[in-house]
Amino acid sequence: MTTIGITIGDPLGIGAEITLKALAKFPQAQAFRVFGDPELLAGLPESRLRSVLVPKASSEYSPQEAGRASIAYLESAVQAWREGDIQALITAPISKSHVNAAGFPFPGHTEYLADRTRTKDFVMMMAGPRLRVTLVTIHEPLSRVPSLLTREKILMTLEVTYRALQERFRIKLPRVAVCGLNPHAGENGLLGREEIEIIAPALEEAKRRGFPGEGPKVPDAVFHEAYEGKWDAVVCMYHDQGLIPFKMIHFQDGVNVTLGIPLIRTSPDHGTAFDIAGRGIADSSSMEAAIRMAIEMAE
């Protein structure tokens, strides 16, 4: 049976709470290993707990201690994967400011896992029952996006997306739409030339290499088509182009999936929610969806 690893993320956030709530929905026969502070996971069966003890100054974590703990959970999980103890990993949210204060040199989970698995080409996908999107550029100021778009980056994103749909989602011939950058996909150059000079040539080369994508598609129409089932995934040029429509549809059941790395990794589509942590009101729907998707991809 597949064993699923879960890191609880920032101990000051809702990671432990949503993990406990989510695991209560899964049968005891399913094997899990939860990496975190046992004090925060009281009630979890010992068979499902992998204690990661991190020294802290008191019963409460400081921001730096919380960051150090987040890193320790993640490092322990990656080591367990290397040893074959887990076959997939779900990561509860971390705080970028807390892990940075603890000396974490990566923007987030994705870049850390790519580094530890020595993966050069990796892609972030947001996935739900009705829509999947991947991003050519991720956390970049909008003003920088046009200068960051290259044929090579679009080719890499499309190829990783296409191969993952085949290998992880079992879609034999994926139907992938590729968005334009500008309104109306540039309107034949009237509203911008990125579609003509960068995106279309990348798509021509992708077709020659055997991982075709359709486009450049008009962004304000393609998501409705995907919602109706015409496309298996949509490749987007920048963060909000993909995540605004995605979260309109999958705000509670969306899953963050890292494509291209050898480790199956999913994550809930939300942050640490410090404002509601410890109140027992956190919604575990996205964590449940992340677990289900990891199990399906692994098996």
* Spatial CA neighbour of 127 closest among 250, 263, 15, 14: 250
On whether both 110 and 126 belong to a single domain, the answer is: no
Is 220 found in the same domain as 294? no
- Rounded-to-integer distance, Cα 227 and Cα 208, Å: 28
pLDDT for the residue numbered 43 = 83
Inter-residue contact 5 to 86 (CB < 8 Å)? yes
Distance CA 265, CA 166 (A): 16
Residue 85 CA neighbour count, 13 Å, CB half? 18
Shared domain for 86 and 73, answered yes or no, is yes
Q: What is the pLDDT of residue 54?
A: 67
126 and 115 share a domain? no
* Position 32, amino acid: F
Phi-psi region of 103 (alpha: psi -120 to 50; beta: other; left: phi over 0): left
Same domain, 95 and 113: yes
Picking from 219, 235, 252, the residue at the C-terminal end of a domain is: 252
**147 and 100, same structural domain?**
no
Please indicate, yes or no, whether residues 82 and 140 belong to a single structural domain of this protein: no
Same domain, 14 and 129: no
- Choose one of 235, 252, 269: the last residue of a domain: 252
**Are residue 127 and residue 114 in the same domain, yes or no?**
no
Q: What does the angle CA 249 – CA 122 – CA 296 come to, to the nearest 5 degrees?
A: 55
For 192, residues 6+ apart whose C-beta sits below 8 A from its C-beta are: 181, 182, 186
Give residue-wise pLDDT tens across range 93-150.
999 999 999 999 998 899 999 999 999 999 999 999 999 999 999 889 999 999 999 9
**C-alpha torsion 15→17→18→21, nearest 10:** 150
pLDDT digit string, tens, across residues 141-193: 999 999 999 999 999 999 999 999 999 999 999 999 999 999 999 999 999 99
Quickly list DSSP for 147-191. Answer: HH--HHHHHHHHHHHHHHHHHTS--SS--EEEE-SSGGGGTTTTT
- C-alpha–C-alpha distance, residues 195 and 169, integer Å: 29
287 pLDDT higher than 70: yes
Q: Residue 7 is part of a domain; what is its CATH number?
A: 3.40.718.10
Q: Is residue 11 within 8 Å of 99, Cβ to Cβ? A: no
**Domain check: are 81 and 197 in the same one?**
no
**Same domain, yes or no, for 58 and 74?**
yes
Beta strands across the sheet bearing 264-268: 49-51, 31-36, 3-7, 88-91, 264-268, 255-259, 123-127, 132-135, 233-236, 176-179, 214-217
What total of structural domains would you count in the chain?
Answer: 2
Phi, psi of 264 (to 5 degrees): -70, 120
pTM for the model: 0.89
Note down the domain range covering 86.
Answer: 1-119+261-299
Residues 248 and 194 in one domain: yes
